[in-house]
């Protein structure tokens, strides 16, 4: 379900946005985020961000390359602030567990 929201958001939203609070049907996972890059980002640029996250106290758990460009990671607050507003990043969203009813 989350992937379709992301695809729809990529197709309709061209402005970067700050991390969003989880909705009622989501359970936030503390310090975990999904970072999605713009289509123009290269694999090498994303690799650099993965290294930056890992070297600043975070940990990249999953990498996404097929449907969208990005990764899921645990990111410390002090480093998250430096990622926000970066031109190559499309959006950053808190990772969460989505349930239905």
Residue 85: predicted pLDDT: 84
CA 91 from chain centre, in angstroms, equals 6
Q: What are phi and psi of 78, to 5 degrees?
A: -65, -30
Q: Residues of the chain whose pLDDT is less than 70?
A: 1-29
Residue 7's region, left for phi above 0, alpha for psi from -120 to 50, else beta, is: alpha
d(CA 21, CA 6): 15
The architecture in CATH of the region 2-98 reads 2-Layer Sandwich (3.30)
β-strand pairing of 69-74 with 26-37: antiparallel
Residue 30: predicted pLDDT: 78
Residue 8: predicted pLDDT: 57
What mean pLDDT, rounded, does the chain reach? Answer: 81
Classified as helix, coil or strand, 100 is coil
């Amino acid at each position: 379900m989350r992937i379709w929201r992301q695809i729809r958001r990529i197709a309709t939203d061209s402005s970067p946005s700050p991390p969003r609070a989880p909705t009622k049907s989501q359970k936030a996972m503390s310090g975990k985020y999904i970072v999605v890059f713009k289509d123009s980002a290269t694999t090498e640029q994303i690799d650099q961000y993965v290294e930056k996250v890992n070297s600043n106290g975070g940990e990249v758990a999953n990498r996404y390359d097929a449907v969208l460009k990005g990764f899921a990671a645990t990111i410390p607050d002090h480093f998250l602030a430096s990622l926000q507003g970066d031109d190559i990043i499309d959006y950053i969203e808190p990772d969460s567990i989505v349930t239905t009813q």
